[in-house]
Amino acid sequence: MRRVVVTGLGALTPIGIGAEAFYRAQIAGKSGVRPITRFDASALPVRIAAEVEVNPEDYLDRKELRRLDRFVQYALIAAELALEDAGLKPEELDPERVGTLVGTGIGGMETWEAQSKVFLERGANRISPFFIPMMIANMASAHIAMRYGFMGPSSTAVTACATGSDAIGQAFRMVQLGEADLVLAGGTEAAITPMAIGAFAVMRALSTRNEEPHKASRPFTLSRDGFVMGEGAGVLVLEEYEHAKRRGARIYAEVVGFGRSADAHHITEPHPEGKGAALAMRRALWDAQVNPEAVGYINAHGTSTPVGDRAEVLAIKEVFGAHAQKLMVSSTKSMIGHLLGAAGAVEAIATVQALHHGVIPPTANLEDPDPELDLDFVPEPREARVDYALSNSFAFGGQNAVLLFRRV
């Protein structure tokens, strides 16, 4: 198996654009949750979200933008940021050896809503001819490949909230097995829309802390009442180790393990004992042939839902035993909300940055820790050099994906 390293980070998040801005905001404990501005949410029970503040015209042609749903726009911006961060010029790469694997949990929700309204009010003949290619989930990977002429394997992961991690794991395998020397991998999501917010709200999955947006996402606390919808994209450059060495690339971390599993339990709730989550973590450790005691940090799925946080803590305790009390565990979602299909990718970036910089990002809003969830949730940023770190992603339908990174 070939070694795979991370050489570029592209972060488009509610608290910062670009890897460095995202890192600084995490360490400052900045919250990206605020009242929704993208549409009038006054009639909805949930009126807060973590929106991205970006002008797409700074990165993409205005004419091109009209033919791209926001989830694709975000992916293209994150890919550009990742390539720039990696010091890569696409024209200098062998296009047949570069792959793209950027997933999404929801896809073109904004386009779907807009064109559904056109269909209902004006008839089928007035639907945009770009409706389908704007909406379908594979277009994030496809447009990145088309923009840069990358002809290597191009695929899409769609595993709900596990999508970003799943995409990175699958890209890891591509490079390991020699299908590509370099893959742009990650996740993207732009589902802050009236229907999506309304739908998650009626499921009672979202926090209703409308009066205190910045405190609404509060994983592992006694007062947690649901997740906060976020949006954005994360793209990582995964590169074969020798390929990276030859060009003198900066190496952030090495990808050493990937584990997947199914809860086989419920359409939305995790297994109450975290059985599927534990299996995915064990498989990531087994894949890397790493003992649990070697892991120092876990970037938790940590959504701020009562059942989800509890199941994840039980899973961590099952896998790590007594070592669980020595682990540092934090939730990026406490600051950026839940980016759905992009969550795992952005959180993988946070995990890699923790290893690279030697600073563990905090869990924000940990004001009233749940006494039943008794791990070290890192309420403030902490300097710590750890050798291995896990990034957890668990999805509706019980689809789980876990990544294991090693400090280089």
Which tokens is 46 given? 């949930």
Q: How far apart are CA 261 and CA 194, in angstroms?
A: 32
48: tokens are: 């807060």
Residue 236 tokens read as 């990582």
Question: Can you read off the two tokens belonging to residue 380?
Answer: 């403030």
Tokens of residue 385, six digits: 């050099």
Q: Is 236 a catalytic residue?
A: no
How many whole angstroms separate alpha carbon 53 and alpha carbon 25? Answer: 14
How does DSSP assign 229-285, residue by residue? BB-EEEEEEEEEHHHHHHTT----EEEEEEEEEE--S-SSSPPTT-HHHHHHHHHHH
Q: How many CA atoms lie within 13 Å of 212's alpha carbon, on the beta-carbon side?
A: 9
CA-wise closest residue to 307 among 196, 240, 227, 251: 227
Strand residue runs (E) in 32-147: 34-35, 48-49, 98-103
Amino acid at 98: V
CB 101 within 8 A of CB 174: yes
Q: How far apart are CA 241 and CA 245, in angstroms?
A: 6
Q: Which of 48, 72, 161, 375 is catalytic?
A: 161
Q: What is the C-alpha separation between 369 and 194, in angstroms, rounded?
A: 32
Angstrom distance (rounded) from CA 107 to CA 213: 25
Q: Which residues are annotated as catalytic?
A: 161
